[in-house]
Amino acid sequence: MRITPPLVALLCAAGLAVEASAQSQPSLAEVAQKEAERRKTVKAPTKVYTNADLVKSGLLTTGAAAPAGASSSAASGQAGTATAPEGQPAPAAEAAAGGAEPPASAEPTKGEAYWRKRITDARSRLRENQVLADALQSRINALTTDFVNRDDPIQREAIAAQRREALAELDRKTRQIDEGRKAIADIEEEARRSGVPPGWLR
């Protein structure tokens, strides 16, 4: 085969191109070395810590977990909420937070029925004590008459003992009658100061 000068020039150019291409393409070993060096320079992923992580570790309390830049409107919205001293419950505030009404007062409503019942009970007790006192007085009178008409000393002593017991019971009932009258007067005075209509106490 005869090689002409143009063919020689073409072959030389092709050889130079192949050599340049081989030089421009890195070998597999070079690629692996560069990748290893790149991995050394890459930092490990940084873990992001949240408030929940800090609370679990004990570095942060739940009260401090609220954002420092909380809006003033949230604070002003809680300004009207009733608070209680530390260690003491706040029933009204808890009831409002839970949507429940506060417990009703144990004091009964002082309406007409309340005043009528109160004055009626007091008057009934007074009348009962007066009836018993009248019965005791009648018994004392009868025992006194019987005592005078008895000649037997033993019978007179027995009658005298019964009379003393009746007198002691009458004295106790008399004190109860005085207390009942005072109780009625106190109820009427309390009702007057409370502005209760007089018809409620009749």
- Amino acid identity of 100? A
Residue 200 near residue 116 (C-beta atoms within 8 A): yes
pLDDT digits (tens, 9 = 90+) for 165-188: 999 999 999 999 999 999 999 999
* Chain centroid to CA 170: 54
Mean pLDDT over the full length of the chain:
73
Q: How far is CA 63 from CA 51, 66, 139, 160, in A?
A: 11, 7, 81, 85
* 74 has pLDDT over 90: no
Every domain of the chain and the residues it spans: 112-194
Mean pLDDT of 117-146: 95
